[in-house]
């Protein structure tokens, strides 16, 4: 190995390690989204769980709900704050999307930002899209 | 010998707890901003210094290890990869070494026969190679997947890798195969050192520490994704802040994340000072990256001292008269 080859390889390595830094300089970086609360969600002010708990845990909650509804026909969820919710992603006023009306602004904004690709929508439809 | 692994194990636990409690006590800015930057600087500076040092050291001898027939007469088939005599052969050999760990594939173990003859025998030991390959590729996939926290929008390549890694679609959030393979392989590599008496004898704290550290990183990462859960959007806000040089500390990020980040930072900072430098070293192995062409080409040792030499011709010129007088044979009579 000649010195030039080693130095060349080292330069490539340093550039690769620093890639997160320069990549964001040469491309336009999308800012973090603020999920918008619209319509009913804005009026309700209380969701199933607390804000940060919901942000972190909503996928497990939906997973548990799916099992509860499909296996035990248990459709009502009583939250810690005393309110009861219909365990449904997209059907009716009292479901997730019934309250959080705009899927694109509520669900998708964060999912796209963090490159999360949930397979909810392979079975469920966004009620807004049917109309 | 237990202290050789108990001290590194305790160290990893302690480091995690320091960050976990520290972040809880309002030191999030240190574990989330200051230390990661210091770790990256230490990693790059340390790595460059180490490789420059290696580049500056002389390699006086042509010492490729050969694992096949050397280039010889036309009718003897040469093994062009395992005994390369050209740069192309060396390149292919290095490529296979780096991507498939071919020298590890040849790993043998020595043991005494159990029967009366009690002879030492060597047998092929493939599991180290299997676990090493599984570990390195799983780690690579995990590393590349983390680019989703450092790019926005996330490039298609990273999303494709995520889709491929999560192809089994088990559970929610979907199980990543690398999340299974990585800890399994690390645990095997650790078990080798712990349960094989010969290996345990030669294992030092510096062998155990990286294993425990990587295991700690994997455990905290897996816990955040599958079990205890964290606010991923908030974390990405923070990591994007780090790489766009406008660091922020959003609310609602758990101590577990700071523990994870701190262990990763420790790994980066510790890297250049450790055996993990084989990342750079593998490219510079003189026994692998040289062509075995010593019979075709003369390689002069650069260390050879420049001494005035006295050839036989000079010697004869000097002593010709005396040699002829003594009746000794000479090349030139006059």
Quote the pLDDT of residue B291.
93
Co-location of B139 and B276 in the same domain: yes
The per-residue pLDDT for range B25-35, each reduced to its tens digit, is 889 899 999 99
Which of A55, A63, A117 is nearest residue B233 as measured by Cβ atoms? A55
Instruction: From chain B, pick out residues whose CB is under 8 angstroms from the CB of A32.
Output: 233, 236-237, 240
Helix or strand (DSSP H, E) at A86: strand A84-86
φ/ψ of B282, rounded to 5, equals -60, -30
Residue A1's pLDDT is what? 66
Residues B294 and B311 in one domain: no
| Predicted pLDDT at A51 | 82
Residues B132 and B20 occupy one common structural domain? yes
Count structural domains, chain A.
1
Confidence of residue A30 (pLDDT cuts 50, 70, 90): confident
Looking at the 3D structure of chain B, how many domains does it have?
A: 2
- Of chain B, the end-to-end C-alpha distance in Å amounts to 77
Which of A31-45, B18-32, B41-55, B281-295 is predicted with the least confidence, judged by mean pLDDT?
A31-45
Distance CA B23, CA B253 (A): 9
B85 vs B69: CA distance, rounded Å: 11
> Is residue A31 predicted with pLDDT exceeding 90?
no
User: For position A130, what pLDDT does the model report?
Assistant: 66
3-state secondary structure of B244: coil
Query: Quick one: B268 and B318 in the same domain?
Result: no
Identify the band that residue B69 occupies on the pLDDT scale cut at 50, 70 and 90: very high
Residue B180 CA to residue B176 CA, distance in Å, equals 7
Q: Is residue A103 part of a domain?
A: yes
**Residues B47, B29 share a domain:** yes
Q: Is A26 inside any structural domain? A: no
Q: CA nearest B17: which of B308, B176, B220?
A: B220
Q: Specify whether B314 is located in the same domain as B285.
A: no
ipTM for the assembly: 0.89
CA B80 to chain centre: 25
Residues 6+ positions from B318 with CB-CB distance below 8 Å: none
Asked if B63 and B212 sit in the same domain, the reply is yes
Whether A23 is covered by a domain: the verdict is no
For residues A112 and A50, what is the distance between their CA atoms, to the nearest angstrom? 23
What average pLDDT does the segment B199-212 reach? 95
Q: Are residues B243 and A24, on separate chains, in Cβ contact within 8 Å?
A: yes
The pLDDT score that the predictor gives to residue B283 is: 94
Residues B157 and B143 in one domain: yes
Report the C-alpha gap between B269 and B263 in whole angstroms: 10
In order, the DSSP letters of B109-160 are EEEE-SSTT--EEEEE--HHHHHHHHHHHHHHHHHHHGGGGT-SSPPHHHHH
Domain of residue B256, CATH code: 1.20.950.20
Q: Which residues span the domain enclosing A84?
A: 34-130
Mean pLDDT value of segment B114-140: 91
Does residue A77 form part of some domain?
A: yes
- What per-residue confidence (pLDDT) applies to A131? 57
* Domain coverage including residue B224: 3-303
CB proximity A62 to B under 8 Å: yes
Contact A32 B47 (CB under 8 A): no
Give the residues across from A77 on adjacent strands.
A85
User: Regarding predicted confidence, which is higher, A92 or B322?
Assistant: B322
* Distance from C-alpha of B149 to C-alpha of B161, rounded to nearest angstrom: 14
Based on the fold, state whether residues B115 and B156 are members of the same structural domain.
Answer: yes
On whether both B244 and B329 belong to a single domain, the answer is no
Query: What is the pLDDT averaged over residues B190-200?
Result: 92
In a domain, A15, yes or no: no
């Amino acid at each position: 190995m000649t010195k030039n080859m080693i130095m060349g390889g080292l330069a490539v390595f340093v550039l690769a390690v620093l890639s997160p830094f320069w990549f964001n300089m040469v491309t336009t970086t999308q800012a973090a989204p603020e999920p918008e609360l619209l319509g009913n969600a804005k009026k309700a002010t209380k969701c199933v769980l607390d804000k940060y708990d919901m942000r972190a845990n909503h996928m497990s909650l939906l997973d548990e709900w799916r099992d509860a509804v499909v296996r035990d026909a248990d459709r009502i969820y009583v939250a810690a704050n005393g309110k009861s919710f219909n365990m449904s992603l997209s059907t009716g006023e009292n479901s997730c999307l019934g309250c959080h009306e705009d899927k694109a602004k509520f669900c998708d904004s964060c999912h796209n930002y963090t490159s999360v690709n949930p397979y909810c929508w392979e079975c469920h439809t966004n009620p807004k899209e049917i109309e | 010998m237990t202290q050789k692994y108990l001290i590194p194990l305790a160290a990893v636990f302690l480091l995690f707890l320091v960050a976990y409690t520290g972040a809880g006590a309002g030191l999030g800015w240190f574990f989330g901003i200051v230390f990661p930057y210091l770790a990256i600087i230490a990693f790059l500076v340390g790595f460059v210094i180490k490789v420059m040092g290696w580049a500056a050291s002389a390699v006086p001898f042509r010492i490729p290890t050969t694992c096949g027939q050397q280039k010889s007469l036309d009718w003897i088939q040469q093994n062009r990869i395992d005994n390369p005599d050209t740069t192309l052969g060396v390149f292919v050999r290095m490529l296979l070494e780096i991507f498939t760990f071919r020298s590890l594939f040849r790993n043998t173990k020595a043991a005494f026969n159990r029967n009366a003859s009690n002879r030492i025998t060597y047998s092929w030991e493939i599991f180290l190679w299997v676990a090493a390959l599984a570990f390195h590729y799983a780690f690579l996939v995990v590393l590349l997947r983390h680019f989703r926290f450092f790019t926005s929008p996330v490039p298609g390549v990273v999303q494709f890798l995520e889709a491929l890694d999560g192809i089994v679609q088990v559970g929610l959030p979907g199980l990543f195969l690398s999340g299974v393979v990585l800890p399994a392989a690390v645990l095997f590599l650790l078990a080798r050192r712990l349960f094989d008496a010969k290996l345990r004898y030669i294992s030092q704290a510096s062998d155990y520490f990286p294993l425990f550290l990587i295991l700690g990183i994997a455990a905290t990462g897996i816990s955040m994704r599958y079990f205890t859960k964290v606010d991923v959007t908030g974390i990405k806000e923070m990591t994007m802040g780090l790489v766009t040089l406008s660091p922020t500390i959003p609310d609602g990020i758990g101590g577990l994340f700071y523990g994870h980040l701190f262990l990763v930072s420790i790994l980066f900072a510790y890297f250049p000072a450790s055996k993990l430098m084989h990342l750079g070293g593998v490219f510079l192995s003189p026994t692998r990256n040289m062509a075995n062409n010593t019979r075709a080409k003369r390689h002069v040792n650069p260390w050879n001292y420049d001494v005035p030499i006295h050839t036989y011709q000079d010697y004869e010129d000097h002593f010709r008269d005396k040699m002829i007088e003594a009746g000794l044979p000479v090349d030139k009579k006059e």
